[in-house]
Amino acid sequence: MQNHNPNPPIIGIIYPGEMGSTLGRLLVEHGFHVITTLEGRSPRTRRLCAEAGLNALSTFAQVVNEAEIVISLVPPDAAIETAEHFYNVAPTLETPPIFVDANSVSPFTMARIEKLMEQCGAPLIDASIHGLAGRLAEQGTLFLSGPGANDFAAMMSGVVRVEALGCRIGAASMFKMMLSGIAKGLVGLFVESGLAAREAGMLEQFIGHCRYYYPGWMEAVERMLPTLPRHVRRRAAEMEEVERTIQSLGIPPDIAAGSRHLYHLLGERGLPEHAETHDLGSATVSELMELIGSAISVRRSAVPAVKECFVLS
Ligand SMILES: NC(=O)c1ccc[n+]([C@@H]2O[C@H](COP(=O)([O-])OP(=O)(O)OC[C@H]3O[C@@H](n4cnc5c(N)ncnc54)[C@H](OP(=O)(O)O)[C@@H]3O)[C@@H](O)[C@H]2O)c1
């Protein structure tokens, strides 16, 4: 659906990584004027920005100066730093743009961002996106909350599926934490058991039986596993936010913590770099588990006695 507003607002995307470039492209397709900057960004973001055909200005400050709405889409552990960067530029402006934090962060991180925006006089919208960037248009949902959430939801409703969750900052982040905990936790559990099955020489049987007994779960695993190797560090950061959210509600976050630990370990062992030379788009679940297993490189010689008891020949 095309945007019918004759004067659509200028939207700044900070930064055009995977999600930022995808959302930016969708906004352009719907008639919005989108600006961004590549200041300080890596060749990967430069490539994604060029592929999405976004208009890149020279500096972050220029984007904040020209945009009416600035959408932050960075790794969760860079959300505060990005809001601070905005905070340092915005007070020089008569009317600071609306700041939309669309990162997968906890309500606590959002509360810190809320303070910064209050101090610099910029309206804030709490946003979160559920669904993979690659399927944003078809299956993604943009959750929104905060005083301006309904207006922003009306503006975005033709672009992606939107759901406004009221006027409280923190509600959209909270909702995302709950959904992320499920999605990333389920994949974490699959990877952990799958690695054990691989070590025991039962990987194919394990995958086959998971498909038979848990088809819904496997549908999610098959959707999310191909993007895990490249995004494992970001998912570790996101699970840390989930963990903090659960803990703050007085619930032991042990399962979230376990997934966070596994993702962190895979990141430390260089899974993203390991995956760079592979085309993961068409990889099977079994090939992906082999890749993850080789990155984690379980020291086979370290556990021979236990392993030999269980390995099927
Ligand atoms: N991708 C998805 O499918 C998806 C789905 C739902 C929600 N999200 C959320 O969307 C947000 C962005 O995710 P993404 O997948 O687009 O990540 P991404 O592809 O890694 O892109 C992140 C962007 O932020 C930049 N960046 C990295 N470190 C930064 C820092 N310290 N300060 C400022 N900018 C920094 C990156 O630039 P460089 O190239 O220089 O590193 C890149 O342009 C996250 O909060 C994520 O949870 C993503």
Give me the percent of the chain exceeding a pLDDT of 90: 86
The percentage of residues in the chain with a pLDDT greater than 70, rounded to a whole number, is 93
3-class DSSP state of 2 = coil
Per the CB < 8 A criterion, the answer to whether 63 and 54 are in contact is no
Indicate whether residue 101 lines ligand 1 (CB < 6 A). no
Peptide bond into 15 cis (omega under 30): yes
Lowest mean pLDDT among 152-156, 199-203, 246-250, 293-297: 293-297
Q: Check: CB of residue 288 under 8 Å from CB of residue 229.
A: yes
The confidence band for 313, taking pLDDT boundaries of 50, 70 and 90, is very low
Tokens 């930022």 locate to 20
The label of the residue with tokens 């900057």 reads 37
125 lines ligand 1 (CB under 6 A): no
Report the atom number in ligand 1 closest to the C-alpha of 128: 7
What would the pLDDT profile of 187-199 be if each residue is shown by its tens digit? 999 999 999 999 9
Question: Residues with Cβ < 8 Å from 22, sequence gap 6 or more?
Answer: 52, 133, 134, 136
Q: What is the pLDDT of residue 3?
A: 58
Q: Whose CA is nearest to atom 42 of ligand 1?
A: 17
Length of the chain: 313
The mean-pLDDT minimum among 27-31, 76-80, 202-206, 270-274 falls in: 270-274
240 burial via Cβ count (<10 Å: 0-12, 13-18, 19+): buried
Atom of ligand 1 nearest to the CA of 133: 3
Residue type, 193: S
Rounded Cα distance between 34 and 17, Å, is 14
- CA pair distance 91, 259, nearest whole angstrom: 40
Dist. CA 212 → ligand 1 center (Å)? 35
Q: How many angstroms is it from 73 CA to the middle of ligand 1?
A: 6
Around 139, how many Cα atoms within 13 Å sit in the side-chain half-sphere?
7
The pLDDT of 122-135, averaged and rounded, is 95
Residue 308 has pLDDT above 80, yes or no: no
C-alpha–C-alpha distance, residues 135 and 132, integer Å: 5
Q: Ligand 1 mean position to 75 CA, how many Å?
A: 4
Instruction: Specify which residues 72 forms β-bridges with.
Output: 14, 101
pLDDT for res 305: 46
> What is the pLDDT averaged over residues 173-184?
95
With a 6 Å cutoff on the Cβ, whether 74 touches ligand 1 is yes
**Ligand 1 mean position to 302 CA, how many Å?**
37
Q: How many angstroms separate the alpha carbon of residue 174 from the centre of ligand 1?
A: 19
The predicted-structure confidence for 218-263, as pLDDT tens digits, reads as follows 999 999 999 999 999 999 999 999 999 999 999 999 999 999 999 9
Evaluate if residue 301 carries a pLDDT over 50: no
More confident residue, 1 or 59: 59
Question: Is 120 close to ligand 1, i.e. is its CB under 6 Å away?
Answer: no
Question: Which of 21, 48, 73, 280 has the most ligand 1 atoms within 8 A of CB, as the residue to mutate?
Answer: 73
* Whether residue 104 has its Cβ less than 6 Å from ligand 1: yes
State in Å: Cα 234 to ligand 1 middle.
8
Which residue lies with its CA nearest to atom 48 of ligand 1? Answer: 19
What is the CA(202)–ligand 1 centre distance, in A?
Answer: 36
Largest pairwise CA distance in the chain: 73
